[in-house]
Amino acid sequence: MAYLKFFTRLGALVLPFLLLGLSIYWTDPFCLLRSPFIAREVKEKSAFPLNTCLAKLIEFEQHPGANILLGDSRMGLIHPSEIERVSGKKFIDMSYGGASLNELVDTFWTANKAVALKSVYMGIGFSLYNDYHFTNRTEPAMAIIETPLLYFTNRTVLKGAWYTAQLRYSGVDPGLGQPLISPDELWKEALQDDSNWAERYLKPVRYRARLEEISQYCRQHRIDLRFIIFPGHADLQAIPSRFGLDDQYFQFKRDLASFGPLYDYDVPNELTANRENYKDPVHFRDPVAKRIVRDIWGAGTDGSSRSRKVGDPVY
C-alpha cells in the first residue's frame, strides 16, 4: 500500500513535466527537434519573432552555408532571394532585429566553426558601433543547441510552444512583430531609441578590436568580408551632430573602411531626404532594398564596386 501511494504521488509529480515535454516536442516552436507535426510556416509567425537569434542559429546549424549576411533589422530587409536573382549567389540571412555588434561578431565565429566561410557582408549602423550597446542572445542560443535539454526549460521556448499551438489549432495569431502604434508614433519612437544610444555613447574600444580580429582572420583565410552602412532618413542622420558626435561618426566610417570594402549609403541625398522611402527613420522600404542589392550584387559589379546608384560613397 505504501508503494502504491509513493508511485501515485511520484506520477502526480512527474506527469505535468512529461506533458510539458511532450507539448514542446509536438510544437517544436524553433525547429530544434525537427518535429514533423506542425509546419515551419506556422512557427515563423508564432515563435520565431520571439527570438530570431535562436531560430536562425538553429536553422544555420542544420543547414549551414558559406555566404552569410550579418546585421540588425536593416540587413533583414535585404532578401537573399533577391541577391540570388541578380547574382546567382546563395546567401543566408543571419541578421537579428535589435541586434548588437556583440551578437554579430559572435554569429560570425559560430558560423565559421560550422562551415568554411567564403563571403560575409556585415551591415553596421553608427548606433551599433558603441561599446555601451550590448546584448547577448547568441550565447544562450548556442547553449540550447549544444545541450538540447535546455530547450525544454527555456521560457521563450515555452511561450513559443503556446503561441504555436494556439495558431495551429485555434487560429489565434499572436501578432508578433506587428506595430501597435500609429506610423507617426513609430517614427518618433525610432528616433528616440537612436537618440538614447547616442546619449549613452561609449567609445568602441572593445568592438573595434573584435572587428579588427575578424578582418585579419578573413584576410588570412581569404574570406570576402565587406561592410554596409545602410541609408537612414535625414532625421536619423541628424542625431550624431545633435549629440556632438560628428567626429566619432566619421571615425566609425573610417574604421569600417579599414576593416574591408565599405558600401556607404548613409549620406545626404535625394533618397535619404524622401520620407516616402522609409517605414520609419531606420527602415527603408523594399524598392530601396532592391536598388541596394542591384548596386552591390548586380551584374557586372562582382561585389567589388562601391555605392554608385544610391548616393556617392564617402570612401
DSSP sequence for the chain? -HHHHHHHHHHHHHHHHHHHHHHHHHH-TTSSS--SSS-HHHHHHHTGGG-HHHHHHHHHHHS--SEEEE-STTGGGS-HHHHHHHHS---EE---TT--HHHHHHHHHHHHHHS---EEEEE--GGGS-TT-----HHHHHHHHHSGGGGGT-HHHHHHHHHHHHHHHH-----TT---S-HHHHHHHHHHHHHHHHHT----HHHHHHHHHHHHHHHHTT-EEEEEEPPPPHHHHTHHHHTT-HHHHHHHHHHHHHHS-EEE--SSSHHHH-GGGBSSSS-B-HHHHHHHHHHHHSTTTTT---S-SSS----
Q: Which pLDDT score, from 0 to 100, does residue 177 have?
A: 76
Question: C-alpha grid cell for residue 228?
Answer: 554596409
Domain boundary among 145, 178, 211: 178
Is 10 in the same domain as 127? no
Is 313 in the same domain as 237? yes
Is 270 in the same domain as 200? yes
Is 79 in the same domain as 89? yes
Q: Which pLDDT score, from 0 to 100, does residue 1 have?
A: 58
Is 183 in the same domain as 173? no
Is 152 in the same domain as 294? no
Is 7 in the same domain as 120? no
Is 144 in the same domain as 132? no
Hey, which residues does 263 pair with through a beta bridge?
Answer: 228
Is 76 in the same domain as 185? yes
When divided into structural domains, the chain yields a total of 2
Residue 278 CA to residue 197 CA, distance in Å, equals 21
The phi-psi region of residue 170 (left if phi > 0; otherwise alpha if psi is between -120 and 50; otherwise beta) is alpha
Q: Which domain holds residue 197?
A: 56-136+179-315
Is 5 in the same domain as 122? no
Is 185 in the same domain as 98? yes
Q: Which pLDDT score, from 0 to 100, does residue 36 have?
A: 94
In three-state form (DSSP H/G/I as H, E/B as E, the rest C), the secondary structure along 182-235 is CHHHHHHHHHHHHHHHHHCCCCCHHHHHHHHHHHHHHHHCCCEEEEEECCCCHH
Residue 137 CA to residue 6 CA, distance in Å, equals 42
Residue 29 CA to residue 177 CA, distance in Å, equals 16
- 61 contacts 114 by C-beta, under 8 angstroms: yes
What CATH number does residue 89 fall under?
Answer: 3.40.50.1110
- 43 contacts 164 by C-beta, under 8 angstroms: yes
**pTM flag (> 0.85):** yes
Q: Which pLDDT score, from 0 to 100, does residue 19 have?
A: 77
Is 286 in the same domain as 164? no
Domain boundary among 128, 152, 178: 178
Q: Which pLDDT score, from 0 to 100, does residue 175 have?
A: 86
Domain boundary among 119, 153, 178: 178
Edge-to-edge strand list for the sheet holding 119-123 = 92-93, 67-70, 119-123, 224-229, 262-264
Sequential pLDDT tens for the chain (315 residues):
565 555 455 455 555 667 788 999 999 999 999 999 999 999 999 999 999 999 999 999 999 999 999 999 999 999 999 999 999 999 999 999 999 999 999 999 999 999 999 999 999 999 999 999 999 999 999 999 999 999 999 999 999 999 999 999 999 888 887 777 899 999 999 999 999 999 999 999 999 999 999 999 999 999 999 999 999 999 999 999 999 999 999 999 999 999 999 999 999 999 999 999 999 999 999 999 999 999 999 965 544 444 443 334 433
